[in-house]
Structure 1
Amino acid sequence: MTTIRFNKPFNVLCQFSPQEGKETLADFIKIKDVYAAGRLDKDSEGLLLLTDNGKLQHRIAHPNHKLEKTYWVQVDGDITDEALKQLESGVTLKDGKTKPAKAQRMDEPQSLWERNPPVRFRANIPTSWLDLRIKEGKNRQVRRMTAAVGFPTLRLIRYAIGDVTLDGLKLGEYQKVGEQILKQFS
């Protein structure tokens, strides 16, 4: 069984099949027959797990297994305590209310790489960072949650899936995951 962790850059499609003018996983990952366990939108960055084991792929990706995913989120504005409480109690979206999340302010991550293109900068409007942990995976959920509480997402980085993190992975780099780490998904 092969399972890898990959630090997906901004604007890379989460697929191996080519699409004219777009970068895909095939531009970075040279291991055959591995598939993404879950999605990460092209405008999101960070941790993606890929495996050649269908059962493991399902276990990681399916929301019924309630695997915690940690996101580092840069939002427009100085996020308030009230907005954090709303995120923690669940936010009502068009497709229903989200499950309670863990949300807290954080400093900008020191290990952060430059994004290309950079996030827009506006001198008169501050940004803030939060650590957001969810156990479900609605389409574009984190972005919709922060917008619903009045703080649109500017940059979204998935930092962890369960106990597997981005630590030590450079942008666009992948690495095999050891069997010991995979035991958490069984």
Structure 2
Amino acid sequence: MYRYVIAYKPYGVLSIHHRDPLGRGTLTTLGIPVTLNPAGRLDLDSEGLLLLTDDGQTLHRLTHPYFRHSKTYLVLVLGRPSAEALAQLRAGVEIKGRRTRPADVEVLMGEPHLPPFPRQLPSPAKTTWLRIVLREGRKRQVRRMTGAVGHPTVRLVRVAIGRLTLPRDLAPGEWRDLSATELRVLLDDVWPRGRRRSGSPTRVRRYS
């Protein structure tokens, strides 16, 4: 029986299991079993939804660029992006000689409901919240995209992978097994038309 876990990776924690020589927090620090591998990492200074599993086939389909599964981020950037900057983000920007795929980019009118950030942030008057949906996963892609159009990222939270969303009641550092409903949503996204057997969730438990 495969296991599927959803976690809120906090700011300042690495998306790895082995011990960090600099003493920074890791997935092992959070108590996540080493048998579970993340479906796409988050940077040290990023936070939010981390999906982990020991189901190698599903992990492959979630992470291989061919399948183009969407990932949704709430992104706080410095300044007020112009219509031109937003159009660039949507169309794709040049990063190390390669243009990013088109992205969905939306300006949020208010501050999203998120846990407090552990660092001092610029005042709201100097920043803008964006919702960005990507269908590829390059290293530090969101930060490089916003930086390329002149608006550095100061906070980045992944809130969805496909239709699987970060639970509102999951605090930074907490994790739990997917519920039966969440697992069904995940497998329907990853295996359309039922081309693979259904998974079976373990009993839902919460950890922190």
Same fold per superposition (TM over 0.5)? yes
Task: Pick the structure with more strand per residue.
Answer: 1
Q: Larger C-alpha radius of gyration, 1 or 2? A: 2
Flag structure 2 segments of 5+ consecutive residues without an equivalent. Answer: 192-208
Q: Counterpart of 2:186? A: 182
Contact conserved, 2:79 with 2:128, CA < 8 A, in 1?
A: yes
1:31-42 matches, within 5 Å, as 31-42=33-44
1:24-45 superposed Cα distances (whole Å, 9 cap, x missing partner): 0011134351111111111110
Give the TM-score normalised by structure 2. 0.83
1:140-170 deviations in Å (ceiling 9; x for gaps): 1100100111111111111100011112321
Identity %: 42
Match of 2:118 in 1: 116
Find the counterpart in structure 2 of residue 89 from structure 1: 91
Contact kept? 2:163, 2:186, Cα under 8 Å: no
User: Which whole-Å CA distance do the structure 2 matches of 1:95 and 1:137 have between them?
Assistant: 16
User: Which amino acid is 1:109 matched to?
Assistant: P
Q: Matches of 1:84 and 1:134 in 2, distance apart?
A: 14
The CA RMSD measured in Å over matched residues stands at 1.5
2:17–2:34 contact (8 Å) kept in structure 1 = no
Aligned position for 1:8: 9
Q: TM-score, normalised by structure 1?
A: 0.93
Q: Distance in 1 between matches of 2:33 and 2:134?
A: 29
The aligned amino acid for 1:66 is R
Q: Where does residue 159 of structure 1 map in the other structure? A: 159
SS at match of 1:60: helix
Could you tell me how far apart the structure 1 residues matched to 2:46 and 2:38 are?
A: 15
Deviations 1:30-74 (A, max 9, x none): 435111111111111001110011111111111111000000000
> In the alignment, what sits opposite 1:170?
171
Structure 1 Cα separation of the partners of residues 97 and 137 of structure 2: 12
